[in-house]
Amino acid sequence: MPPKLPLSAKRTSTASSASLPATGPHRRQLAPPTESGNARAPPCAHAAAPSTALVNKSRPAYGELVESDEVHDEIRALGTEVKSMIAQHLPRHGTSEKQVVWGVREFGPSKESRAALNKENEAAKLAWERGVYCVWRCTEPPKLRGANNDFCCRLGYRHVCFCGHPMAAHKTPASASNASAAPPSSSSTSPGGTPASDRQLAQWKAPCEEAGCACSSFSYIPNTPLEIGEGWLTRRANWKPSAWSAKCRCGHGHKDHDPSSSSLLRCRSCGGCSGFTSAFLCVVCDLPWEAHETVWESEGVRAKGGLPVREAYAPLADLEWDIREMVLTDVTMGGKIEPPATYLALQGSQNASSRSPRRRVGGSSSGALPPLSSPEARGTQASTAADPVLDAEYCPGCATVYRSTTSNFCSKCGQPRPRRPNKLR
C-alpha cells in the first residue's frame, strides 16, 4: 500500500505534471534537476534567458548620455517644490511707483531714460501747439496689469521710423481742425495750409520725403533698448546707440529689412525671412511689435474719448514737481505749465532757511552737540525712524532693493530677507 501524501503535496505534484509535455498516453517526463535540486520546466528556462540578455544589452552604462523624453519622479517632485516656493515667496508684481520715485530722488534718473522721456516731452509739447497727437498704440489688450491702454509711446519729430528717418522727414499734418490750439504759421503748414479733419487724421500715412526712400507710411519701431526691456545693453563699455536695431526672429535687425510695403518688410541679409517678425516685446504692454500701430488723433477726439490732452498728456504729469524737474529738461513746456503753489512755497522756505545761520544748542562758539534728551536730537531720531528707506529694504548680499515689503527672498540672488526684531533692545 503506497504511503499517503498530504493534500498540499498532491496539488503541487499535479500542477507540476500538468505543465510538462506528455511523451506517451500515460507517461510524463520530468525536467532534469538543477544544481539546487529544484525541477524547472525547459520552456520557462529558455524564455527567461533572452529577456535577461535583452535587458542587459539595452541598459546604458554609467555616465552615458541617452536621449529620453521621460520625466523622472525626482525631477517632477523638484519642479513641484520650486513652483511652490515661487508662489509663496516671490511677489506677483514688479517694482512699485513708490520705489521708482524713491530711487530717482536718491540716485537720479539714468541717462538713457532721461533722454527717452525728454523726446516724449517734446512730442507732447508739439501736440499741444498743433492739436495733433501721434501715439504708438497696441491693437490688443495689454498683457501687463495696470499698463497704459492709451499709448505705449508719444511720438514727435525726433522719433525714428522703420525706414531709418525721423518723423521730421515725413509728411505730417500741420494742425487739426478739431482742436483748440492756434493754427501754426503759414511757413510750417502742409500744402494748402488747411487743417486736417478727424477723418483725414484717421487715415493719415505720413510717407517719407527723403530722396530714394520707399517708405509709404510712418511706422514706429522702438528706438532704444529701454523700450523693449533690454536697458542693460546701454551699460556695456562698447555700446553704440547708432549701431543698435530691434531684432527680427531671423536674427537680423530692422535696419537689414526693406521698409517698402511692397516687399512686406523682407530681410535683405537672408533669404528665409518672409517679413519682419519681432523677437522682442514692448516693455509697456508686453506685446510684440506686430500688435502695435501708429495713430494720429486730434485734440477733440481724445478729449471726447476721455484721453489726456495738453498738460495731462505730458510725461510724469501725475508725479511731484521735483521729480519732473529732475528728469525733464523743459518741465514747463516753454512756460505753458506753471509749478504748483505748494512747491513754490516750499522752495521759498528752503531758500530762506539756507540763507539763515544755523543755531547751535551749545552756544554760537562752543560747537557742542545737542544732548540725547534735547528736542533736536529727539526730532532727528524720529525722522530717521520714520524714513521709509531703511537697511532692511536692501539685500545684504547684493544690495538689491526688495520688490515689496512682503518679499521674503531677494529677487536677484535669492538670499532670504533678514528679519528685524519686534522690540529694540
pLDDT at 67: 78
Q: Give CA–CA dist 19/12, Å, rounded.
A: 11
Q: Give CA–CA dist 317/329, Å, rounded.
A: 14
Q: Are 317 and 196 in contact (CB under 8 A)?
A: no
pLDDT at 307: 94
pLDDT at 372: 47
CA angle, residues 80, 82, 85, in degrees to nearest 5: 110
pLDDT at 333: 87
pLDDT at 3: 53
pTM of the model: 0.60
Residue 285, CA distances (Å) to 85, 220, 319, 340, 366 in order: 27, 16, 21, 32, 61
pLDDT at 385: 43
pLDDT at 421: 57
pLDDT at 91: 60
3-class DSSP assignment, residue 138:
strand
pLDDT at 245: 92
pLDDT at 4: 53
pLDDT at 351: 67
Reading phi first (left if > 0) and then psi (alpha if -120 to 50, else beta), residue 51 is in: alpha
- Please list, in sequence order, all residues whose beta carbon lies within 8 angstroms of the beta carbon of residue 97, skipping any fewer than 6 positions away: none
Q: CB-hemisphere CA count at 13 Å for 187? A: 0
pLDDT at 345: 79
Tens-of-pLDDT digits for all 425 residues of the chain?
455 545 444 444 444 444 444 444 444 444 444 444 444 444 544 444 454 545 455 777 887 887 777 777 888 888 888 888 877 766 666 667 888 888 898 888 988 999 999 999 999 999 999 999 999 999 999 988 878 889 999 999 999 999 999 999 999 998 888 777 555 544 344 444 688 888 999 999 999 999 989 899 999 999 999 999 898 888 888 888 888 999 999 989 999 998 887 667 888 888 778 889 999 999 999 999 999 999 999 999 999 999 999 999 999 998 889 899 999 999 898 888 888 887 777 777 766 666 655 554 444 444 444 454 445 444 444 444 444 444 447 777 777 777 777 788 887 777 888 876 554 44
DSSP string, 16-83: HHHTSPBSSSS-BPPPPB-TTS-B--HHHHHHHHHHHHHHHHHSPPTT---------HHHHHHHHHHH
